[in-house]
Amino acid sequence: MALSTQSYKGARDFYPPDKRLQKYMFGVWRQVCERFGYEEYDAPILEPLEIYLAKTGEEIVNEQTYVFEDRGGRQVVIRPEMTPTVSRMVAAKRQELAYPLRWYSIPNLWRYERPQRGRLREHWQLNVDIFGVVGSVAESEMITLVDAMFKAFNAKPTMYEIRLNSRQLVDYALGTYLGFNKAEALVIGKLIDRKAKMEQTKFIAAVDAACSPKAREAGAVEKLMELLAIDELSELPATLQGQDSVKALETLLQQLKQAGITNIRFDIGLMRGFDYYTDIVFEVFDLHPDNNRSMLGGGRYDGLVGLFGVAPVPTVGFGWGDVTLANFLELHHLLPVLAAETDLYVALVGDIAVAAQQPIATLRKNGLNLAVDLSGRKLGDQLKAADKKGIKYALVIGADELKSQKYKLKDLTTGQEQAVTLDGIAAKLKKPRAA
């Protein structure tokens, strides 16, 4: 029985062209992060089970993560997300770090579940966090950074939409305003999260079923539906308008719009699950009709660092998966044509491999990435190989060239060819790779 060549379920092989795309995406992420003063960090892919148990329910950890026992009998998890890890790192050096911390990372993460579109078992996720800032200036910076990333990927404002909400506002609305108790609010919050996927009548029926008679009689279902239909802060009922959370959202929206971000709006139905978020939450939606889904999300989570036994640190952060980004770029035709890292493919004519070493060494010393064809094939076949590898230029070296010190440089995309000196080649090829 032959061995299977398939990669592990839900995980991908990255052949050089795939890796080229990944490097491009990560490169843009890194560039924008660093432009905003964020520093890269990293951590082990394995973590002790406890740091996830503290935050999420045990079921989720057991059913949706890779958990195993190591040889020392310790329960180990392959990290399904980065947030507990980075919180652990901050807590460990809580006293000595220089706040505000601006940190980012692009970890690979694993979750144990059936793969589907946009959701694999292994993926990479950009994580950006700012620690130690209390006011909404942190959210403002974070969303500005997100928007700068979309612009750096050449996305237009019509392709995506930033949606904002406040967990405090939702808590107040479900509790004090609509009169749900905590258990009801939890169930209804989850329903609101799924509302877009449900039919209106089914949604209403489900909310109604989750209501206590008392809340139902007070008209909570109708009031909730009215509330969910609102898409401007100014349309909120007066009792909600007075909330600090609404004022914070107002300030934030105003700031961002003034900064030129127009595709942003308030969305009271935005939940981001019912996990560790404590205040403002945000998501970016793909507006393409074939992929109307959330691409990235984040918000404020002030409580996590404190779980490690130190004073809490206010934090705002988001995560953005490589799969959803790649889907977005593909659907909107934003994938650039990526040239190989190799600048130049050297084709040898005749038995001159030894004699050609000197010019080859000179070109490398001049900073060029070059590959030499070692096959001794016909020239045509060597050029074909260069083209297939995605290399833009080929250089022909034969007895004539060695003698005249002029080499034939061929642009494989245009087919144009010219005779140049070694220095001329380096000068000509130094820059174009970035594009």
Partner RNA sequence: GCGGGCGUAGCUCAGUUGGUUAGAGCGUCGGGUUGUGGUUCCGAAGGCCGUGGGUUCAAGUCCCAUCGCUCGCCCCA
**List of residues contacting RNA (CB under 7 A):** 6, 9-10, 52, 56, 60-61, 64-65, 80-81, 83, 111, 113-119, 190, 193-194, 197, 272-275, 297, 319, 349-350, 378-381, 383-384, 387-388, 396, 398-401, 408, 410, 412-415, 417
Q: Which is nearer to RNA, 218 or 402 (CB)?
A: 402
Within 8 A by CB and 6+ apart from 52, the residues are 61, 65, 77, 80, 84
| Minimum separation from the CB atom of position 80 to RNA (A) | 3
Q: Which is nearer to RNA, 217 or 411 (CB)?
A: 411
Q: How far apart are CA 47 and CA 63, in angstroms?
A: 17
User: Cα angle vertex 335, ends 332, 339, to 5°?
Assistant: 165
| Minimum separation from the CB atom of position 335 to RNA (A) | 18
| Minimum separation from the CB atom of position 64 to RNA (A) | 3
Q: Which is nearer to RNA, 50 or 381 (CB)?
A: 381
Counted residue by residue, the chain has a size of 435
| Minimum separation from the CB atom of position 109 to RNA (A) | 8
> C-alpha 162: how far from its chain's center?
15
Q: Which is nearer to RNA, 223 or 433 (CB)?
A: 433
In DSSP terms, 389 is beta-bridged to none
Q: Which is nearer to RNA, 80 or 179 (CB)?
A: 80
Helical axes 182-194 vs 200-210, angle rounded to 10°: 170
In DSSP terms, 362 is beta-bridged to none
Are 112 and 121 spatial neighbours (Cβ–Cβ below 8 Å)?
Answer: yes
Within 8 A by CB and 6+ apart from 190, the residues are 271, 274
Q: Which is nearer to RNA, 205 or 399 (CB)?
A: 399
| Minimum separation from the CB atom of position 242 to RNA (A) | 29
SS3 category, 370: strand
Q: Which is nearer to RNA, 16 or 37 (CB)?
A: 16
Extract the tokens encoding 72. 């020392």
Are 318 and 299 spatial neighbours (Cβ–Cβ below 8 Å)?
Answer: yes
| Minimum separation from the CB atom of position 197 to RNA (A) | 5
Are 408 and 417 spatial neighbours (Cβ–Cβ below 8 Å)?
Answer: yes
| Minimum separation from the CB atom of position 50 to RNA (A) | 14
